[in-house]
Amino acid sequence: MGSASECPLTAGRTAIPVIETPKGPSSTAAFRGAPRRGRHFALAAIIVLLIAIVGIATWYSLTRPMVVSIAPVATNVPEQVFGLGTVGARVQSNVGFKVPGVLVALMADQGDRAHAGQVLAQLDARDITAQLAVAKAGVAQAQANIQKAKADVASATASLANAKAISARRAALAQHGNASAEEAQTTEATMRVAAANLGAAQSEVSVAEAARQSAEAQEAFEQATLANYTLYAPYDAWIVSRNLELGSMPNPGQSVFTLVAAHSVWALGYVDERLAGRLSVGQPAEIILRSKPATPLPGHVARIEIQSDAVNEERLVDVAFDRIPDNIHLAEQAEIVITTGVLPRAVPVQPAAVTDYRDGHGTVWTVENGRLERRRVTFGHELLDGRLPVVDGLPDGAEVVAAPASGLRVGGAARVAEVPPR
C-alpha cells in the first residue's frame, strides 16, 4: 500500500491536522481547574468594580452641593389676630308711647334713617287737644284777672291819695276852728277805708298771679301730655323694624319701632382666648363683610368685653368702623382681622421647616457661606397663613432653608435654587 498522502480519498484536498489530547491524570486536572480560576477572578473583579462605583457615588453625594430653596426676608410683617362674628350695634332701643291710644300716623319704616327729633308716629290726640285748648283759655282768663286786679289797685291807690289829701285839709281846718272835729274824723275814716281797699286790690293781684301760674302749669301739663301722643326719634338712628301698624292700640311702653344709633354700628367678633392677650383698645383692624368679601373695611378695636365665652373659650371683641358703610345690615356675618404689631424684619417659614419648636424657639436649617448649618432661632407670633417668622438667632448672611429635604447634613455644600420669575 502506498502512504497516506497518496490515498485516493485525500488526493487534491487540504490535510486536516489532528491534535492529540494528552493523556494521564495530571493533564486532566489542569484542564478542569482552568475555568474555575477564571470565574473566581471575574467575580473578584466585579466586586472591586462595585466597591469602586459605590465609593465614587458616595464621594459624589458627599461633595456635590445640595440644591435647597430659601425663605425670603420680609419687611414690615404684620402680626395679626383673626376673629369671626356679626354686625351689631352698641346702642339699640325699642321705642314706644308713654300713653295709650290709637295709632293714626306712621312716618317711618324699617331700613329708614331717622334724625334726632324726627317724628316717627302719632296717636289720636283729639281729646287731649281739647283739654289743652281749655287750659290755654284758663291762662288767658287768669291773665285778664291780673289786669283787672292791677286796675283795681290803681283805682284804690288814687282813692287813697284823694282821701289822704281831704283828711289832711279837714284836720288843718279843724285845728283853726274852720271845720268841726266830726268832719275831720269822717275824712280820716274815709282815708282808712281807701287804704284798706288798696290792700284788698293788691291781694287780688296776688291771687290773680297765682291763678295764672296754676293755669300755665295746667297748660304745660296738657302740652306735655299732647307731646306724648307723638313719637320722636331719640337720636340719629337706623330703623331696624316697625313693630305695629295703623289702627293698633299700643299699651304704654309697647315697642312701635326698634332703633339702633347710627354711630354705634360695629362688628362683634369672637377671638380665641390663646390670642386674646395680644389685643388692646385702639389697635387697627379690618372688617370683611360676607356680602363684600373683596372689600375690607378699615376699623379699630373699640371695646374688649370683660366676660369671655367659657364654652367656646373665646373672647368677644367689638370692632368699630372708621367709616360706617351706607348699605349695612345688622346680624350679617363678618370677619375681623386685628393688627397687634408689625415686625420690621423677619423671615417667615412654614412649620415643616422647624423642628423642636416650643415657647417661641425652634431649630432650622440655614445656608451660610455655601454650607449647611443648624441654628436655634427665636420666632415671633404665628402669622395668619400659619407661617412662623424668624426674628432673632440668625448670623449675618445666613439664609433659612424653606423646605428641608432628606440628605441634609451640617457642613454639607449647598446651592440655592433659583426662583423662576413670575
| Residues 286 and 269 grouped into a single domain | yes
pLDDT at 35: 62
Contact status, residue 96 vs residue 256, Cβ threshold 8 Å:
yes
Based on the domain organization, do 319 and 200 belong to the same domain?
no
Contact present, 75 and 344 (Cβ < 8 Å): yes
C-alpha to C-alpha distances, 154 to 20, 66, 160, 168, 206, nearest whole angstrom: 184, 120, 10, 21, 14
Task: State the DSSP code for 71.
Answer: P
pLDDT for 57: 56
How many CB atoms sit inside 10 A of residue 125's CB?
A: 20
H or E segment and range at residue 365: strand 361-368
pLDDT given at position 58: 57
Q: Which helix (H) or strand (E) holds 379?
A: strand 371-379
What pLDDT is recorded for position 349? 95
Q: Which stretch of DSSP H or E encloses residue 146? A: helix 126-175
Q: What is the largest CA-CA distance in the chain?
A: 238
CATH number at residue 377: 2.40.420.20
At residue 203, the pLDDT reads 75
Whether residues 204 and 270 share a domain: the answer is no
Q: Label residue 251 exposed, middle or buried (CB < 10 Å: 0-12, 13-18, 19+).
A: exposed
Backbone Cα Rg of the chain? 57
Same domain, 105 and 176: no
Domain count, the chain: 4
Residue ranges of the chain whose pLDDT lies below 50: 1-22, 24-31, 421-422
Task: Answer with the one of 342, 373, 400 that is the final residue of a domain.
Answer: 342
288 contact partners, CB below 8 Å, separation of at least 6: 295, 296, 297, 334, 335, 336, 337
327 and 349 fall within a common domain? no
Backbone angles phi and psi of 390, in degrees to 5: -75, 120
Domain harbouring 192, CATH code: 1.10.287.620
Q: Is residue 154 a part of any domain in this protein?
A: yes
Structural domain harbouring 212: 125-228
Query: How far, rounded to the nearest angstrom, does the alpha carbon of residue 180 sit from its chain's CA centroid?
Result: 103
In a domain, 208, yes or no: yes
Please state, as a whole number, how many other Cβ atoms lie within 10 Å of the Cβ of residue 130.
11
Give me the pLDDT at residue 45, please: 75
User: Are residues 330 and 401 both part of a single domain?
Assistant: no
pLDDT for 363: 96
For helices 181-227 and 126-175, angle between their N-to-C axes, nearest 10 degrees: 170
